[in-house]
Amino acid sequence: MWKCRKQKNHFLQISRIRSKDISCDAHQKRKVSGTGFSCYKTISAENSKYKEISPSVSVITGLDEASNYYYGIGNTGRTYVISYDNTVTWYTIPDDEYYNAISSNTFLSATFT
C-alpha cells in the first residue's frame, strides 16, 4: 500500500527574492484563469515586463549565492528542485540535498507571505 506524500512547507505561499527580482505564487498558478506559470523574474517594473520561469517549479525558496544554484518546490508540491542554470531548467533532488543547501551560510532564503 502506498501513501501520498505531504506537500512541502511554503508550497502555497508567495515567495520573493528581492535582490534577484523573482516572485512566485503557486496558488495563482492553479486558478482557472492561471497561465501555468507561478514564478516570474521582473525585467522592467516601469513597463510591466516579466519573464516566466519554468512551470516545473511552483515556489523558489532560495539561492545559494556561492554556487548561484536556485532551490525550490516542484509543481506538485511534493519534491524539491534545483536549477543550475539561472532558473532555466529544474531537476528534482533528494530532500537531504535540499536541507544541506538551506543550512549553508551562503544560502539566501526567499521571503514568504
pLDDT tens profile 77-86: 899 999 999 9
pLDDT in tens, 90-107: 999 999 999 999 999 999
59-81 mean pLDDT: 94
CA nearest to 21, candidates 56, 53, 64: 53
Residue 1 has pLDDT above 70, yes or no: no
Residue 61 has pLDDT above 60, yes or no: yes
Radius of gyration for the alpha carbons in the chain, expressed in angstroms and rounded? 14
User: Residue ranges per domain, the chain?
Assistant: 14-112
Rounded CA gap, 35 and 104, in Å? 34
Q: How confident is the model at residue 74 (pLDDT cuts 50, 70, 90)?
A: very high
